[in-house]
Amino acid sequence: MKHSVIAVENISKTYGSGESAVVAIKEATFEIFSGETVALLGPSGSGKTTLITMIGCITEPSGGKLRLNGSLVYDYKWCISDTRKLRRENIGFIFQSHNLIPFLNVQENVTLVPLMNNVSTKEANTRAKELLEYLGVGDKLDKIPAQLSGGQSQRVAIARSLANNPKIILADEPTAALDSERALSVMQLLRKLAHEQEVAIIIVTHDERMLPLFDRILRVEDGYVREEDRL
Ligand SMILES: Nc1ncnc2c1ncn2[C@@H]1O[C@H](COP(=O)(O)OP(=O)(O)OP(=O)(O)O)[C@@H](O)[C@H]1O
Ligand SMILES: [Mg+2]
């Protein structure tokens, strides 16, 4: 049974105040269900990163409501005391740049969050190896990020975001650093994950070729979010 994973109601974000205020998102309302893959499109500066970092409880909204997995997490203020714990346990993030921890090796980068969530070392290592293998960087376990190419780092970052079995995956141009074949296979992996494990995925992308792989398309323009009709 499909259930509501992300429910956004009249959410808005204004950076700064007075003369210098920038309205990044204007009263957005939409809902995303388990198993859905959603593309988030829009020109540079339209508010895409602002929107997904609000859903990921990283950027504090200026107003509105946010429900994740049915729980109210923001209602004109945060309703939960520990947004980091919520994030760690429920959300996988893939950023525009990989944000790997430079002094940990590949395997340690991927197992860090599961270990913080009290997953056993054995289980965390096994899952990390599986994911890294799948993403084509299984031979890099003991390398540090500085020893990887941009595309390899991004694949490690994707493995890391999947390591805690999140029900929500938020990705900001995850395939920008990958060649088109690898980008396509990463997208297919994310889609398979969404459908098989009832994960809800929002991906910011500029790549029109990827659009057929998504169930829905949201477009941000000048801070307004609207759903695009599929043909
Ligand atoms: N921390 C901040 N402080 C002030 N203004 C910000 C901040 N972050 C973003 N903005 C502004 O909010 C607007 C939306 O920015 P955002 O980063 O969400 O756009 P984007 O759609 O992700 O763009 P891109 O495709 O270039 O990544 C822009 O006008 C930007 O300058
Ligand atoms: Mg952005």
What's the pLDDT tens digit per position in 187-213? 888 888 888 888 999 999 988 888 999
- Give the pLDDT confidence score for residue 46 in this predicted structure: 94
Residue ranges of alpha helices (H) inside 135-179 are 150-162
Phi first, then psi, for residue 66 (nearest 5°) are: -135, 125
Residue ranges of alpha helices (H) inside 102-225 are 106-116, 121-134, 150-162, 180-197
**Helices 150-162 and 180-197, interaxial angle, to 10°?**
0
Q: Where are the beta strands (DSSP E) in the chain?
A: 4-15, 22-33, 37-41, 63-68, 71-75, 91-94, 168-172, 200-204, 216-221, 224-228
**Among 14, 15, 26, 52, residue to substitute to test ligand 1 (most atoms within 8 Å of Cβ):** 15
Q: Does residue 47 surpass a pLDDT of 90?
A: yes
Query: Strand 216-221 relative to strand 91-94: parallel, antiparallel, unpaired?
Result: unpaired
CA dist 87 and 56 (Å) reads 7
**Does residue 205's CB lie within 6 angstroms of at least one atom of ligand 1?**
no
Domain ranges of the chain: 36-49+82-228
**Does residue 48's CB lie within 6 angstroms of at least one atom of ligand 1?**
yes
Which pLDDT tens digit goes with each residue over 131-160? Answer: 999 888 999 999 999 999 888 898 899 899
**Does residue 22's CB lie within 6 angstroms of at least one atom of ligand 1?**
yes
Q: pTM value? A: 0.90
**Does residue 50's CB lie within 6 angstroms of at least one atom of ligand 1?**
yes
CA dist 27 and 156 (Å) reads 35
36-49+82-228 classified as CATH 1.10.10.10: no
